[in-house]
Amino acid sequence: MRLPLIAGTVAALAAGSLSMTPQAQAVGCLSGAVAGGVAGHYAGHHAVLGAIGGCAIGHHLAVQAKKKKLEEEQQMRAPSPASAQPAPVPPPAPVPAAH
């Protein structure tokens, strides 16, 4: 009897999380909390502890992904060392000696 209530709650939270604009501090927390809460519930009725842990892990993973994305963008924008230097000028052609 509790299973339909839990499933409905999880579905409502998941649908709500898709329509909400994430705050800078809450990035990854809501989806992690939902997953952690469900896992904690099935692991021994510790849904609240699972939600807290899931929030922390989800936020940590989201911050790591954001840092990685920013680093990749910076590498793409930065000129490579080879393109930063001018192309070498070939030596002049030798002049034939007059006899």
Segment 68-91 mean pLDDT: 78
pLDDT at 25: 61
User: Is 19 inside any structural domain?
Assistant: yes
pTM value?
Answer: 0.51
**Alpha helices, H only, 1-99:** 2-19, 29-42, 47-77, 81-84
Closest CA to 10 of 45, 28, 44, 36: 36
Give the tens place of pLDDT for each residue, 4-45. 556 656 555 555 555 554 455 677 888 888 888 888 888 888
pLDDT at 78 over 90: no
User: Is 50 inside any structural domain?
Assistant: yes
User: Is 98 inside any structural domain?
Assistant: no
User: Is 95 inside any structural domain?
Assistant: no
User: Is 96 inside any structural domain?
Assistant: no
User: How many structural domains compose the chain?
Assistant: 1
User: Is 87 inside any structural domain?
Assistant: no
Domain that holds residue 36: 2-77
Give the tens place of pLDDT for each residue, 36-73. 888 888 888 888 888 889 889 988 999 999 999 999 99
User: Is 88 inside any structural domain?
Assistant: no
Closest CA to 37 of 15, 64, 59, 7: 7
User: What is the distance between the alpha carbons of residues 58 and 73, in angstroms, rounded to a whole number?
Assistant: 23
Closest CA to 32 of 60, 58, 70: 58
